[in-house]
Structure 1
């Protein structure tokens, strides 16, 4: 079985019902908070306050299981449905005690806050961690794909599979490749889109470990503070998540 076939086997399918969300919340509250166990990404149509949220991906450790939450179908129920203890996915996402890892949280936060009033807490932004850990030129921020290529060592077969999944996804959803972001709202969700969603989070733990090992406690603390500031910035009226300014360097790192 290929790496990506296994990745789909390790996916809890598309979570699109209230009972499934309630069970997931209970599972997530059972995870350790001593170090990050939640690695998160968001997909949508023009993901921002001007677009919509389609899928919320959560990879959990130590089991490396990926959950694809169907926000397009569930809408607010995805965040407001309580588990047995009365707590919700919103409570997890907003908690200041449960660490959550994103790669460039800004547009994810903009969309979640604008459409569902979710105010993300305790965010570890991997893009900032990569920047803070660099020993070479610091002219621009780096995107996720380049970070995976540079800092997540893979075998030739794994790299070929990763690139193929990435390209197949781009051809389905990226307008510049002939696709449409509306594919994220197609049900049943195409298998290649499921693979793309899984792949988007499956390398985050590896990158987190790589960058954290290269950061002093002081630099990590600064990254966490800047992560808080990124969330706050994404909630401002003037925030614009598109444009070259998004690659400009953060201050103080």
Structure 2
């Protein structure tokens, strides 16, 4: 369901807000979440209760003061409605830096997937540097059957009217997130610690917005001290690369200027 008017979005939200407890969420845009980027689409699909409909909100069709958009953002910030995402860092940045919206109550399936991969290798520790993997790898490794994603022009997210291919692509992503969540939930792969870990993960760049080409804030490695946070050690050392304050355990030596992840880059 494409929502590109106040009436359509209000109608969709009336159904969502009246009953939903868990939603799958995904965003699309140009340089999504980065400085100078633009949020284009927000896709939402109710998981609990389950729904056959995916709501695709055309953000560009609404003014910044839109009452309907404010209702949607209230859902994003809600602590009673859980949001299921797959690598929600740039989604969070788009909401936070473009609209001042702080996403809460999130479970990130990418983190759940990383933990499953670590658990398969008993000699690996959550404190080590770990590679991040995308949704396609997650689906394949966990035996989740899904139709392949179409190839699209990712530079065309701001083009209006938006083509059916792009709308279908965006809606399909949120359906895949729902499929991953359902399988992980059924198999007991979602630990109670994931909620706190996910909030740390998606808010990593709430200190300042990532920029295009910044390899220290956008790379294929899991940032340190997300899965495990040492409460006994102060996070008082600034990494010269990612500009995060971390504990001394995240650096190769006491003299090192960069954390293990940035050092590996």
Map 1:136-175 → 2, pairs under 5 A: 136-137=120-121, 139-154=130-145, 162-163=147-148, 165-167=149-151, 169=152, 172-173=153-154
Tell me how far apart the structure 2 counterparts of residues 111 and 69 of structure 1 sit (CA, whole Å).
14
Q: Which has the larger radius of gyration?
A: 2
Corresponding residue to 1:184 among 157, 162, 170: 157
Tell me how far apart the structure 1 counterparts of residues 221 and 184 of structure 2 sit (CA, whole Å).
19
Unaligned stretches of 5+ residues in structure 2: 125-129, 230-265
- Answer yes or no: is the 8 Å Cα contact 1:212–1:220 preserved in 2: no
Comparing 138-147 with 59-68, greater Cα deviation is found at 138-147
**Cα shift at 1:209:** 2.0
Corresponding residue to 2:78 among 75, 91, 95: 95
Tell me how far apart the structure 1 counterparts of residues 84 and 55 of structure 2 sit (CA, whole Å).
15
- Answer yes or no: is the 8 Å Cα contact 1:109–1:120 preserved in 2: yes
**Cα shift at 1:16:** 0.9
Tell me how far apart the structure 2 counterparts of residues 152 and 240 of structure 1 sit (CA, whole Å).
35
Q: Deviations over 1:149-171 (max 9, x none)?
A: 232532xxxx5xx33x432x2xx
Q: Deviations over 1:53-93 (max 9, x none)?
A: 00111112312311110012214256x427xxxx8111111
Q: How many residues align?
A: 213
**Cα shift at 1:239:** 4.7
TM-score with structure 2 setting the length: 0.72
Tell me how far apart the structure 2 counterparts of residues 63 and 72 of structure 1 sit (CA, whole Å).
25
Ranges of 4+ aligned residues in structure 1 off by more than 6 Å: none
- Answer yes or no: is the 8 Å Cα contact 2:77–2:104 preserved in 1: yes
Corresponding residue to 1:54 among 40, 47, 50: 40
Corresponding residue to 2:99 among 109, 113, 116: 116
Partner of 2:27: 42
Comparing 135-144 with 23-32, greater Cα deviation is found at 135-144
Map 1:10-89 → 2, pairs under 5 A: 12=1, 14-33=2-21, 36=22, 38-50=23-35, 51-61=37-47, 62-77=50-65, 80-81=67-68, 88-89=71-72
**Cα shift at 1:116:** 0.6
Tell me how far apart the structure 1 counterparts of residues 211 and 194 of structure 2 sit (CA, whole Å).
21
Which structure is higher in helix share?
A: 1
Tell me how far apart the structure 1 counterparts of residues 210 and 192 of structure 2 sit (CA, whole Å).
24
Partner of 1:252: 228
Q: Deviations over 1:77-132 (max 9, x none)?
A: 56x427xxxx8111111011111101011011001110011100101111011122
Give the root-mean-square deviation of aligned CA atoms.
Answer: 2.5
Higher relative contact order (CA closer than 8 Å, sequence separation 6+): 1
Comparing 191-200 with 129-138, greater Cα deviation is found at 129-138
TM-score with structure 1 setting the length: 0.75
Comparing 227-236 with 38-47, greater Cα deviation is found at 227-236
Q: Deviations over 1:203-236 (max 9, x none)?
A: 11221122234447xx622211011112332311
